[in-house]
Structure 1
Amino acid sequence: MPFRFRFHSLLVIYVFPLILHAQFVSNPLKRELRGAWVATVSNIDWPLLGDYSPASQVTSLSTLFDSLSKARINAVFFQIRPSCDALYKSQLEPWSQWLTGTQGVAPSDTSYDPLKEAIRLARTYNLELHAWFNPYRAVVNTTSSSVATTHISVTHPEWILTFGTLKMLDPGLPAVREYVASVIMDVVSRYDIDGVHFDDYFYPYSGVTSEDSATYANYNPLGMTPEDWRRDNVNKLISMLNDSIHAAKSRVKFGVSPFGIWMNQSSNPLGSATAGTQSYSALYADTRRWLQEGWVDYMAPQVYWLRGYTIADYSILVPWWDQNSFSRHIYIGQATYRLFPSYNWPVYELIQQIALNRQQTNVYGSIHFSAKYFQRSAYASKQLNDSLRSLSYTHRVLLPTMAWRDSVPPAAPESLKIQKGSGYGLVSWNPSPTASDGEGATQYLLYRSYTLPIDFSDIRNAVFRGTSTNWVEDTRFNYPDEYVYVAATALDRHQNESAPSNIMGISPGGTVGTGGEQDLPVTFRLHQNFPNPFNPVTIIPFELGMESPVSLRVYDVLGREVATLTDGVESAGYHQVQFDAGRLTSGTYFYRLVAEGKVMTKKM
């Protein structure tokens, strides 16, 4: 038996990667959301149980975010309101017991704000941060939860529904909707978050009988059935928040991570070919409608089942969500925790699930539950990280863009130049001007290639990403036998990418191919093309001291024109034109620049 187990393990570790290597490595994606939930309720992921020191909590959160970044995760969904409490400074709700041990007790350092620290660390590790709220849950467990005298269940007991040991806000009360919205909008207005996020808890999984009968009698003017009325209550909150969030900050995303089944086909022909619990009827969450109405920017259904599972087949549900996205983003909630005891799913199941996600048109990524599994020292955690990095997440990627939130790219960086040092190249550029929507660049990417043209669609060519710097050192520019070409692009807050800057290169001799100075020229100048010799693409740089009609043409040794590269008015400054000689025969060619009433000619 031990030998058989080891044999199968070897198959998983060595054979399976070989089968999928080409699929994941040969053509890596440039954009994909790779998220992780950071659950604070019951200290699932953070802070560590019993750790009430602000300094220690910041250190452990930094370690967690660092582990996620090393796994090439690019977004975190950070729980800040587990049960009408706060893991941030709030005048509306008490400090969370999961932060200090007792609800309502402030951290020992009065300046400490966990959400501000999380945002700061997220920027440090290039992680988008979505603030995760539980809209209705008030008391997790009445027998064990700490409840402050300022908690909403104490100050407004008439707003509370009780289901066994669970207490929740009554979704049917207009005052509750207004209260929940005010809590969320307080965070949106005061914190630099990237998104607002809900999970799957609306009405309770245990079901509703007569607990809300008084509210139903008093707040049902249209005479709906109890089921339709409850769904309408949740719909009103989702619609209200969509309007409020985007009126305040249009760039902030709003999304929900519901239970993975909307409706089964047996209940509705539009549903999925499944037989499990339905969020539509069990939790009164009409998630498909939220997509159809455009009330959410993304949906992250928790598809926590195996491929081939009869009741809820992953291979059926993911395509169903893809087909019901209504042009919004779908991110699949991954049951990463099930790789560990007591489920012990094989790692290749997760790898195959991610592969299936990528076969869909409207599935733009995954969110893993939960973050702690990326930093455990257990063998399964190492296998998870190694498998994801070698098969699924082979390179860092950008986030998917949302055209309905922001479709205007930033302006391109300007005047990129290289200064050759001893064993390094110093690349610098001028910051991007303000774009047409009034936004500036928030980050820059530096692309490097040993051939022209640079392929900006291949994320593997992006060798540097910086949040505030506009220069980078790279010892690879010291290669004596290779041409190296670089260009920069800019990213805005939604990771729209600009056009590239000018391209610069270093020749085998170590010189900067287009000249080191990139200040606004005061005179007309034609530079030597680079690379030279070339096959078949080269770049011809030139400079103008003033706006002028420009003609740049290529001739053969007999003086016959073989290409017109530029023929029009150009502004003062540095310019470069790419010339592809692939259709020409080998030989000697010249290029001639006519501008400012002057003529210059150079041999290629």
Structure 2
Amino acid sequence: MNANMYCKLLSILLLAAVQTQIGTCEDSVWPPREFRGVWVATVANIDWPTSRHHTTDQQKTQLLTILDKAKELHFNAIVFQVRPAGDALYNSSVEPWSEYLTGTQGRAPSPYYDPLQFAVEEGHKRGIEVHTWFNPYRARSANTSTSGLASNHMAKRFPDYAYIYGHDLWMDPSAKVVQDQTYTVIMDVVKRYDIDGVHFDDYFYPYPVSGHDFPDTHSYHEYTAGGGHLSLADWRRENVDTLIHRIYNGIKAIKMNVKFGISPFGIWRPDNPPGIHGFDSYSSLYADSKKWLQEGWVDYLAPQLYWKIDPPQQSFTALLDWWLQQSKQHRHVYAGMFAGNTLLKHWPLTEIGSQITESRARSGRLCLGDIQFSMKYFRDNSVGISDYFKQNLYQNPALCPEMSWLTADLPSVPNPSNLTITGHRLTWNKDNSRVIYLWSIYKKRADVWDMLVLLDKDAVTHNVASNGEYAIRGVDRSNRESDPAVVHITDAGGSLIIG
């Protein structure tokens, strides 16, 4: 805080006849940052909406229930699936409305609303980041027919590159028109919506169907006929690499603060690290996820570590340690966890708790949080998982980690101004710089600050429950905080400690 701000605050407080002290917060411990995400899947109506035949009001109510539950449990991000299969759960001029939303692809909600806009606005009011989750190549899930697809669906627009594979309809990742379509879709969302991130999961080339190779032979022959020398496998990986790198650069050219994250299959290749057995995503999905992390083509990677800690063949901790070693560009690693295994595989809740404890123990090595699959288990409190998280894991709110490579050239975060104390009520001026995204409120316990609440940017007052030392800080869209303004409240009155 500069000298002018000191003088301004002192003058205001003297006029208000409030005792003023000068102090410092430098020796205090602020709570660690942690990404606490949860996937909200829309494909097959897994998490939301629970029926494609619900009304607009029912869908809004369900989405608010999800966001309220996320806030109650101190999650700070949802990963919201907006493009499950070449469709859109938002108002798009590029792709059709999703059948998972209205029952008929291409039909808008009626009465009209935009689910993504609604999710972003309501999520931000609750201090929750909204990361938009796209599938780059899937054209239809559990259905191989093009019947019922809207005329502007990519499988209808580019039928030469739409393939039946297993039980799904899939687009050819090598086709330039397919890559351009995915790129255009994502950049359109980045431009038009106030989102916090773009997210892919583990679907690149599809999971193999026994006895059937992916039917892109003609595309590969076109490549080799044009002078290409890569093997089929390397060519497929290059196709995916090209799109990943292009999307990362495209996002940053539009909005530097929008994060790009991928949640690949948890095993890159068997025997990495030594002793790990299982599916080879490098050679089967053609996903060189290690390369993307090492090259810095993502802001975070959240490998799907859907195994227990103990089995040596797929050990959660062994794989997490290996992934952390690959972050040569110091990008964040979040552990992808399957909360649903507490219900589906009867895992004890303590297994998930131990995994979060293990990931926190590695916070100094850029393991800075986790993402849970999926929201319905927390919404429904399956096997008591919501109660367990609230009581044992996420007792207090937390800010998402700051990504230093995205914040270097941003303006400074303004301090709370005109802060006054009336009894147990704190009041401050609304930020007019449009830099503030949230206000963070803390209470001091010994030398440690516990976060109490995250408030919307438009908040200008907050009541505290008891006497003690409190701090308020401004937070910007990149999760940077201002210097704290600290107040000490007693029954005799309040005082400001300029930190």
Aligning the two structures, in what range does the TM-score lie when normalised by the shorter sequence? 0.7 to 0.9
The Cα of 1:473 is off from its aligned counterpart by: 2.5
The Cα of 1:210 is off from its aligned counterpart by: 5.9
Q: Structure 1 residues 56 and 432 mapped into 2: Cα distance closer, same or farther (>3 Å)?
A: closer
Count of paired positions: 461
Q: Deviations over 1:387-439 (max 9, x none)?
A: 2222221211111110011145512223322123xxxx3322335585xxxx6
Match of 1:497? Answer: 481
Greater relative CO (CA pairs within 8 A, separation 6+): 2
The Cα of 1:144 is off from its aligned counterpart by: 7.5
The Cα of 1:279 is off from its aligned counterpart by: 1.2
Q: Structure 1 residues 290 and 499 mapped into 2: Cα distance closer, same or farther (>3 Å)?
A: same
For residues 454 and 421 of structure 2, the distance between their equivalents in structure 1, rounded to whole angstroms, comes to 15
Match of 1:247? Answer: 253
Determine if the alignment matches structure 1 residue 370 to structure 2 residue 374: yes
Match of 2:436? Answer: 441
Determine if the alignment matches structure 1 residue 486 to structure 2 residue 470: yes
RMSD: 2.3
Percent identity (aligned): 39
Matched residue of 1:66: which SS? Answer: helix
Q: What letter matches 1:240 in structure 2?
A: R
Matched residue of 1:37: which SS? Answer: strand
For residues 261 and 454 of structure 2, the distance between their equivalents in structure 1, rounded to whole angstroms, comes to 30
Matched residue of 1:197: which SS? Answer: strand
Q: Structure 1 residues 144 and 178 mapped into 2: Cα distance closer, same or farther (>3 Å)?
A: closer
Matched residue of 1:263: which SS? Answer: coil
Match of 1:350? Answer: 352
Matched residue of 1:430: which SS? Answer: coil
Q: Structure 1 residues 134 and 394 mapped into 2: Cα distance closer, same or farther (>3 Å)?
A: same
Match of 1:125? Answer: 126
Determine if the alignment matches structure 1 residue 328 to structure 2 residue 323: no
Q: TM-score, normalised by structure 1?
A: 0.72
The Cα of 1:276 is off from its aligned counterpart by: 0.6
Q: Structure 1 residues 50 and 151 mapped into 2: Cα distance closer, same or farther (>3 Å)?
A: closer
For residues 143 and 241 of structure 1, the distance between their equivalents in structure 2, rounded to whole angstroms, comes to 28
Match of 1:481? Answer: none
Matched residue of 1:262: which SS? Answer: coil
Q: What letter matches 1:472 in structure 2?
A: H
Matched residue of 2:466: which SS? Answer: helix
Q: What letter matches 2:269 in structure 1?
A: M
For residues 507 and 180 of structure 1, the distance between their equivalents in structure 2, rounded to whole angstroms, comes to 58
Match of 2:223? Answer: 219
The Cα of 1:295 is off from its aligned counterpart by: 0.5
The Cα of 1:229 is off from its aligned counterpart by: 0.3
| 1:71-150 aligned within 5 A | 71-110=73-112, 112-142=113-143, 146-150=148-152
Q: Deviations over 1:428-475 (max 9, x none)?
A: 2335585xxxx6222222334487xxx5xx441545634311222235
For residues 50 and 231 of structure 1, the distance between their equivalents in structure 2, rounded to whole angstroms, comes to 35
Determine if the alignment matches structure 1 residue 191 to structure 2 residue 173: no
Determine if the alignment matches structure 1 residue 232 to structure 2 residue 231: no
The Cα of 1:330 is off from its aligned counterpart by: 0.6
For the Cα contact (< 8 Å) 2:300–2:332, is it kept in 1? yes
Determine if the alignment matches structure 1 residue 417 to structure 2 residue 420: yes
For residues 463 and 43 of structure 1, the distance between their equivalents in structure 2, rounded to whole angstroms, comes to 32
For residues 73 and 387 of structure 2, the distance between their equivalents in structure 1, rounded to whole angstroms, comes to 8
The Cα of 1:271 is off from its aligned counterpart by: 4.6
Q: Structure 1 residues 337 and 127 mapped into 2: Cα distance closer, same or farther (>3 Å)?
A: same
Determine if the alignment matches structure 1 residue 338 to structure 2 residue 337: no
For residues 75 and 387 of structure 2, the distance between their equivalents in structure 1, rounded to whole angstroms, comes to 13
For residues 451 and 206 of structure 2, the distance between their equivalents in structure 1, rounded to whole angstroms, comes to 48
The Cα of 1:345 is off from its aligned counterpart by: 0.9
Match of 1:56? Answer: 58
The Cα of 1:30 is off from its aligned counterpart by: 2.6
Q: Deviations over 1:218-248 (max 9, x none)?
A: 1354310000000000000000001101101
For residues 325 and 82 of structure 1, the distance between their equivalents in structure 2, rounded to whole angstroms, comes to 28
Matched residue of 1:182: which SS? Answer: helix
Q: Structure 1 residues 464 and 250 mapped into 2: Cα distance closer, same or farther (>3 Å)?
A: closer
The Cα of 1:127 is off from its aligned counterpart by: 1.0
Q: Structure 1 residues 210 and 410 mapped into 2: Cα distance closer, same or farther (>3 Å)?
A: closer
Match of 1:430? Answer: 429
For the Cα contact (< 8 Å) 1:92–1:183, is it kept in 2? yes
Q: Deviations over 1:331-386 (max 9, x none)?
A: 11101111113x111111111111111122221111110001002155x0x2x122
For the Cα contact (< 8 Å) 2:248–2:297, is it kept in 1? yes
Q: Deviations over 1:517-543 (max 9, x none)?
A: xxxxxxxxxxxxxxxxxxxxxx7xxxx
Determine if the alignment matches structure 1 residue 162 to structure 2 residue 164: yes
The Cα of 1:47 is off from its aligned counterpart by: 0.2
Matched residue of 1:356: which SS? Answer: helix
For the Cα contact (< 8 Å) 1:262–1:271, is it kept in 2? no
Q: What letter matches 1:511 in structure 2?
A: G
Q: What letter matches 1:279 in structure 2?
A: S
Matched residue of 1:104: which SS? Answer: coil
Q: Deviations over 1:40-71 (max 9, x none)?
A: 00000000124431111000110111112212
The Cα of 1:164 is off from its aligned counterpart by: 2.7
For the Cα contact (< 8 Å) 2:443–2:450, is it kept in 1? no
The Cα of 1:150 is off from its aligned counterpart by: 3.1
Q: Structure 1 residues 142 and 390 mapped into 2: Cα distance closer, same or farther (>3 Å)?
A: closer
The Cα of 1:35 is off from its aligned counterpart by: 0.7
The Cα of 1:169 is off from its aligned counterpart by: 1.2
Match of 2:208? Answer: 206
Match of 1:404? Answer: 405
| 1:254-403 aligned within 5 A | 254-265=260-271, 271-326=273-328, 327-341=330-344, 343-360=345-362, 361-376=365-380, 378=382, 380=383, 382=384, 384-403=385-404
**Runs of 5+ in structure 1 lacking a partner?**
1-26, 478-483, 515-538, 540-575, 579-604
Matched residue of 2:321: which SS? Answer: helix
For residues 461 and 140 of structure 1, the distance between their equivalents in structure 2, rounded to whole angstroms, comes to 42
Q: Of Structure 1 and Structure 2, which has the larger fraction of its residues in helix?
A: 2
Q: Structure 1 residues 513 and 284 mapped into 2: Cα distance closer, same or farther (>3 Å)?
A: closer
Q: TM-score, normalised by structure 2?
A: 0.87
Matched residue of 1:472: which SS? Answer: strand
**Runs of 5+ in structure 2 lacking a partner?**
1-28
Match of 1:511? Answer: 493
Q: Deviations over 1:242-296 (max 9, x none)?
A: 110110111100011110001122xxxx655311111111100000100111100
The Cα of 1:121 is off from its aligned counterpart by: 1.7
For residues 229 and 221 of structure 2, the distance between their equivalents in structure 1, rounded to whole angstroms, comes to 9
Q: What letter matches 2:126 in structure 1?
A: Y
For residues 373 and 321 of structure 2, the distance between their equivalents in structure 1, rounded to whole angstroms, comes to 21
Q: What letter matches 2:366 in structure 1?
A: N
Q: Structure 1 residues 386 and 142 mapped into 2: Cα distance closer, same or farther (>3 Å)?
A: closer
